[in-house]
Every structure is written in C-alpha cells, then in structure tokens.
C-alpha cells in the first residue's frame, strides 16, 4: 500500500528532530543544567491544534486572524521578556503543532526556537519562564 505520510517532508523532519533532540537542545541548556522555556496555555494550544487542516498533500494551519493576532502578540511579549533577561527565547509546544507554529511566527520572531515535547529528554531539567495565553493584555 502507498503511505503518503511517509513522504511528507515536514513529518519526516519531526521524526529526525526527535532523533537529534539532544544535539538540538544542548546549546540552550544553561550552566545550571536547566533548559528555560516558554510554555503555551493548554486552552491556547488546543484551539490552535483545531486549526490544523489535513489534505492528501499534507497538513497546514488555518486559523482565524482574531486568534492568530493575539497569539503572535503573546508569543512576542514572552519572547521579549526572555531576551530582556538575556535568555534565548524557546517556545515549547506539542509535536503536532511545532512545525506549524514555527512557520507562523518565523517572520515576526526569527530568533525564536520552537521545540516540541518529544524533543525534551528525560534527563534534562526544564523551567518555564513564561506562558503564552490570550490574556496578555492583562499583564
């Protein structure tokens, strides 16, 4: 049988990233052995995942600008807070969402690293330094 998902270069990239995860995250682990990350509120992640559309040619993200704009604003705000503390901004998200989120923010935040949960290794300590949410206006 034909396996179209195996030919999806973006999906293959995610598999390779998982296998290379130690190499990918090593440069960002602090001297104290902690990887500092920006996390996403679960409700935000769930909402964005609903925007992933599947076609026979792969998947793409389709979300309403009323969702995308505050999401990007929140990510930018958290990334700027990290950079102000001289911390490389790294956003943690689900493996399903990682590549779509990266594409969405790369124009606005080229320095932002977007990692998925599958790239975290069990022997690495992580610390959340911020959370992406839609309540950014209240902060």
**pTM of the entire structure?**
0.82
The end-to-end CA distance of the chain, in Å, is 53
Distance CA 20, CA 18 (A): 5
Give the percent of the chain with pLDDT over 90. Answer: 42
Distance CA 105, CA 111 (A): 10
pLDDT for position 105: 92
The model's pLDDT over 62-79, given as tens digits with 9 standing for 90+, comes to 888 888 999 999 999 999
Provide the CB-side half-sphere exposure for 86 (13 A, CA): 1
Structure tokens at 94: 């689900």
């Amino acid at each position: 049988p034909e396996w179209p998902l195996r030919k999806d270069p973006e999906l293959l990239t995610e598999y390779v990233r998982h296998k290379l995860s130690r190499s990918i995250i090593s440069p960002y682990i602090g001297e104290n052995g902690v990887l500092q990350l920006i996390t996403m509120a679960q409700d935000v992640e769930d909402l964005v995942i609903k925007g992933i559309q599947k076609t026979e040619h792969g998947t793409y993200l389709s979300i309403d600008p009323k969702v995308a704009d505050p999401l990007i604003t929140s990510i930018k705000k958290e990334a700027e807070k990290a950079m102000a503390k001289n911390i490389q901004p790294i956003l943690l998200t689900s493996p399903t969402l990682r590549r779509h989120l990266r594409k969405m923010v790369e124009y606005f935040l080229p320095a932002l690293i977007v990692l998925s949960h599958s790239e975290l290794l069990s022997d690495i300590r992580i610390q959340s330094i911020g959370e992406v949410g839609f309540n950014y206006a209240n902060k």
